[in-house]
Amino acid sequence: MLIEERLEKEMKIIEENKTVTIESLAEFLSVSKDTIRRDLIKLEKKNVIRRIHGGAVLASKEALIFNYSERANQGNSIKEKIAEKTAKLVKDHSSVIFDSSTTVEAVIPKLNGKNLKGITNSLTHAILLAKNERTSVSVFPGKLNNEQLFLYGAETVDKIRQYHVDYTLLGVFAISENGLFIHTEEEGLVKRAMVQRGNKIIALADHTKIGTTGYFKVCSLDEIDILVTDKMPELKFVELLAQNNVDLVITDE
Amino acid sequence: MLIEERLEKEMKIIEENKTVTIESLAEFLSVSKDTIRRDLIKLEKKNVIRRIHGGAVLASKEALIFNYSERANQGNSIKEKIAEKTAKLVKDHSSVIFDSSTTVEAVIPKLNGKNLKGITNSLTHAILLAKNERTSVSVFPGKLNNEQLFLYGAETVDKIRQYHVDYTLLGVFAISENGLFIHTEEEGLVKRAMVQRGNKIIALADHTKIGTTGYFKVCSLDEIDILVTDKMPELKFVELLAQNNVDLVITDE
DNA sequence: CGAAAAATTGCATTTTATTGCAATGTTGAT
DNA sequence: ATCAACATTGCAATAAAATGCAATTTTTCG
C-alpha cells in the first residue's frame, strides 16, 4: 500500500471517530506501531490532528485555520534547512519581529523551547508562536489581507515604529545589488518599517531569489546583517555582501 | 481508554452536576483517586474547573463553553440559534466590532454574503471573517492570550477608542440587574471599551447566564441596546430590560 | 536499464509518561 | 483540639514515545 493511501485511511478513521488509538490503527492497517506513530507525526505537522499519549484526536479548530493545500507540501527541505539555521541564530531571551512570509513561518516551530517575545503582523504566525508556552506574543494592528492573513496599512506601520527588537526575521522575494524587494507595496511598507526597528536583521532567501529584483524596494543590502540561504552564491555577490557587512549563512555544506 | 477521553467524560459529569466528588469519579471510571486528582489538576490548569476539598466544581460557564461542550454539542445548539437571530439584526453595509467570545464566533458564518467592515481582537474570528470575501477585516493590536487566541491589554483598549462602529457584538458571561459581567479583567477591559465605541450594542447570552453576576463588570444594562437569548426570562427581568431600553430577542417561539 | 541516493519500515534501546500505592502532611467538621 | 478524610509527595511498575540502526523498498539519476 502506498503511504499516501495509508495516511488517507488513517485520516478517515480519525475523522469518523474523533479519536483513535495507535494500537487499533496498527492492527487495522497491519503495520507496526512505530509506523503508525510516524504517520501521526506527519499528520500532526499538517495540523490536521493532535497527537496524545496512546493515540490522536482530530484538530478541528486548527484545520479551520490553516490552509492545507498550501501547507500540504511541507518538508520542502530547502525551506526547512534555512529555517533550521535561522533558528540557531536567535538567542534565548530575545525579542523578535516575524514578518509574514512562509519561510519565516517555517522558523517558528524550530524555536520551540526558547523564551522569546514575538511580534508579528501575520495571524498564522501568531497562532504558531502561541503554541510555545514560553513565548509571549504580540500582534500588530491593521487591515487584514483576506487571502494570506497578514495585517498591513498605516496602522501597522505606525505601530511597528513603537517597537525596537533584537531581531527582525525577513522573508525575501528578491535580493540583488540593488537591495531587497517584494512584489506588493502593501507588504513592502510593513517590511521596511520592520527593518528599521530591528537590531539585527536576518534575511531569508533561497538561491533562486538571489540576483533578482522586484517591484517594491524594502531596503538596501547594507541595512541587513545576515543572509541565510541554501547555496553559495556567485563570488561577485558574496563580495558584495562582504562590502555591505552582511554575514552569509549557507545551509549546504 | 485514552486520557483525553477520560478527561472529556469527567468534564461532562462535572458539567451536568456542576460539582463532583473524587470518590464518585474514581468509582465511575474505575481508576484510583490519585489518577482522578491528577486529572482534575489538568482540568484546573485549563481553567474549566476549580478544585475544592474532596472534589471539584465548574469554574465558569463561559470557560466551559470555550473548551469542551463546544465540541460535544455542535450543530443545532442554543448557540447556533442565537447566532442565527443575531445575524439578522446586522444590516448590510455596516461596521461591526466582534468581541472574542465563542457565541459571537458562531455569528460570523451566518453573516456570509453581507458587505461588512469587521473589527475584532480575536485571531480566530478574524480568520473566519476573512472567509467572507465581501468583508474587510481589521484587527486590534495587543498581547496574545496563548490559549484562547484573543488580544488584550492597554494597546488593545487604546486602539478600540479610535473606532466608532454601527454594531458591537458582545458575548456575555453573566447578566443581571447589576449589569453585564465577565470573569477576567483582561477581557473585561477590552469588552468595556468595545461597548463604548458601538452605536448599537447587541449582547448575546443563553438563559443560564441571566440573573447571574460575575467578577468584572463590563457595563450596565442601559448601555446595551439588544439582548439575544434562547428563552423568555422571568417577567421581572423582562420589565427591567424594558426600563433600560433594551430590546429583547428570543430564539424559541 | 541499473547503480546510487533517499525513504520507509520494524526492531532494540533509551527516555519519558502514566498509574497505583504507601508514607507523610493538611484540612475541616464536630 | 481531635480525628477522620483528603491532599501531597516519592517511588516502583508498566506503557508508550523517541531515538538509533539495519534491512528493505522506492526514487532518482545518468
Residue with cell 439578522: B88
The predicted structure's pLDDT at residue B64: 41
Q: d(Cα A23, Cα A124) in Å, to the nearest integer?
A: 33
Residues B29 and B106 placed together within one structural domain of the fold: no
Query: Is A72 domain-assigned?
Result: no
In a domain, A164, yes or no: yes
Distance A72 CA to C1 C1' (A): 34
Q: Do A133 and B127 touch (CB under 8 A)?
A: no
Q: In this structure, are A181 and A243 located in the same domain?
A: yes
pLDDT tens for A18-37 read 899 999 999 999 999 999 99
CA A120-B124-A204 angle, 5° bins: 30
Mutation site for B-interface testing, chosen from A49, A137, A190 by largest number of B Cβ within 10 Å: A137
DSSP B112: T
pLDDT of A3 reads 85
CB atoms within 10 A of CB B88: 11
pLDDT for residue B65 = 40
Same domain, A109 and A59: no
Q: Could you tell me if B48 and B83 lie in one domain?
A: no
Q: Rounded distance, CA B69 to CA B75, Å?
A: 12
Q: Cα(B10)–Cα(B153) distance, rounded to whole angstroms?
A: 34
For residue A71, is it within any domain?
A: no
Residue A250 phi/psi, 5-degree rounding, is -110, 135
> Any residues with CB less than 8 A from the CB of B24 and at least 6 apart, and which?
none
pLDDT digits (tens, 9 = 90+) for A62-79: 666 665 444 544 445 678
Do A145 and A183 share a domain, yes or no?
yes
**Side-by-side strand order, sheet with B55-58:** B19-21, B55-58, B49-52
Is the same domain home to B85 and B46? no
Q: Looking at the domain assignment, is residue B13 inside a domain?
A: yes
Answer yes or no: is A202 within a domain: yes
Q: pLDDT digits over A136-180, tens only?
A: 999 999 999 999 999 999 999 999 999 999 999 999 999 999 999
Q: Of A24, A40, A66, which closes a domain? A: A66
**CA B53 → C1' D4, Å?**
14
Is B67 contained in some domain?
Answer: no
A155 and A44 both lie in a single domain: no
Quick one: pLDDT at residue A115?
87
Cell of A39: 504517520
CA distance B230 to B207: 6
Mean pLDDT (chain A, rounded): 89
Residues A197, A121 contacting (CB under 8 angstroms): no
pLDDT of residue B60: 58
Is the torsion defined by CA of A182, A185, A190, A193 positive or negative?
positive
Q: Please state, in angstroms and rounded to a whole number, the distance separating the CA atoms of residues A187 and A208.
A: 20
Q: Shortest CB distance from A19 goes to which of B2, B129, B136?
A: B2
The residue with cell 483513535 is A20
Domain boundary among B59, B89, B105: B59
Range of the structural domain that residue B95 is part of:
78-250
From the CA of B125 to the C1' of D17: give the distance in Å.
Answer: 35
Minimal CA–CA distance to A190: which of A140, A236, A126, A226? A140
Query: What single-letter amino acid sits at A133?
Result: E
DSSP β-bridge partners for residue B95:
B117
Asked if residue A141 belongs to a domain, the reply is yes
Q: Do B141 and A144 touch (CB under 8 A)?
A: no
Q: Are residues A43 and A96 in the same domain?
A: no
CB atoms within 10 A of CB A239: 11
Same-domain check for residues B86 and B54: no
Q: How many residues does chain A have?
A: 253
Residue numbers in A near B135 (CB within 8 A): 146
Whether residue A14 is found in the same domain as residue A97: no
Residues B162 and B242 reside in one and the same domain: yes
The amino acid present at A132, given as its one-letter code, is N
Q: pLDDT tens for chain B, 253 residues: list them.
A: 899 999 999 988 887 888 899 999 999 999 999 999 999 999 888 777 889 999 998 875 444 444 444 444 444 578 889 999 999 999 999 999 999 988 999 999 999 999 999 999 999 999 999 999 999 999 999 999 887 889 999 999 999 999 999 999 999 888 999 999 987 888 899 999 999 999 999 999 988 889 888 778 999 999 999 999 999 999 999 999 999 999 999 998 6
Number of separate domains in chain A: 2
- B160, part of any domain: yes
The residue among B207, B249, B208 whose CA lies nearest residue B226 is: B249
B41 and B114 within one domain = no
CATH number of domain containing A36 = 1.10.10.10
Residue A215 has a CB neighbour count (10 Å cut-off) of 12
Give the bases of strand D that a protein CB approaches within 7 Å.
5-10, 15-20
Chain-centroid distance, C-alpha A249: 17
What's the CATH number where A165 sits? 3.40.50.1360
**What pLDDT digit, counting tens, does each position of A97-135 carry?**
999 998 898 888 888 778 899 999 999 999 889 877 789
Cα-based angle A154, B105, B103 (whole degrees, multiple of 5): 135
Q: Which residue of A has its CA nearest to B123?
A: A123
Please tell me which of the candidates B4, B123, B155 has its beta carbon nearest to residue A19.
B4
Contacts of B124 in chain A (CB under 8 A): 61, 64-65
